[in-house]
């Protein structure tokens, strides 16, 4: 599970993302400093990199089955 958030998001506070991260075992939290609610537009390079990592991990895990 990847949790991505912007530290300047006014709709969904950073605290919600941090709580999710604490409660979802094995999750990864990416906090984008100064980004708001439109993270895929504001920080597309970071979002793409995180999704690439998530897909790579899922593919590796599926190959082990």
Task: Give the domain extent around 36.
Answer: 2-63
Statement: residue 54 has pLDDT above 90: yes
Segment 16-47, tens digit of pLDDT: 999 999 999 999 999 999 999 999 999 999 99
Beta strands in 1-65 (DSSP E): 2-6, 28-32
Q: Please choose, from the candidates 34, 43, 40, 31, the residue with its C-alpha nearest in 3D space to the C-alpha of residue 8.
A: 34
Give the mean pLDDT of 9-16. 94
**Residue 35: per-residue pLDDT:** 97
> What distance in Å separates the CA atoms of residue 42 and residue 46, rounded to the nearest whole number?
9
Q: Record the tokens describing residue 24, joined without a space.
A: 């979802």
Mean pLDDT of the chain: 95
Number of domains in the chain: 1
pLDDT at 65: 86
Residue 17's pLDDT is 96
pLDDT in the model for residue 14? 95
Q: Is 20 helix (H, G, I), strand (E, B) or coil?
A: helix
């Amino acid at each position: 599970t990847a949790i991505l958030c912007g530290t300047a998001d006014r709709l969904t506070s950073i605290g919600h993302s941090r709580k999710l991260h604490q409660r979802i075992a094995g999750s990864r939290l990416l906090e984008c400093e100064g980004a708001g609610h439109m993270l895929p537009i504001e920080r597309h390079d970071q979002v793409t990199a995180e999704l690439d990592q998530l897909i790579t991990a899922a593919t590796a895990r599926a190959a082990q089955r």
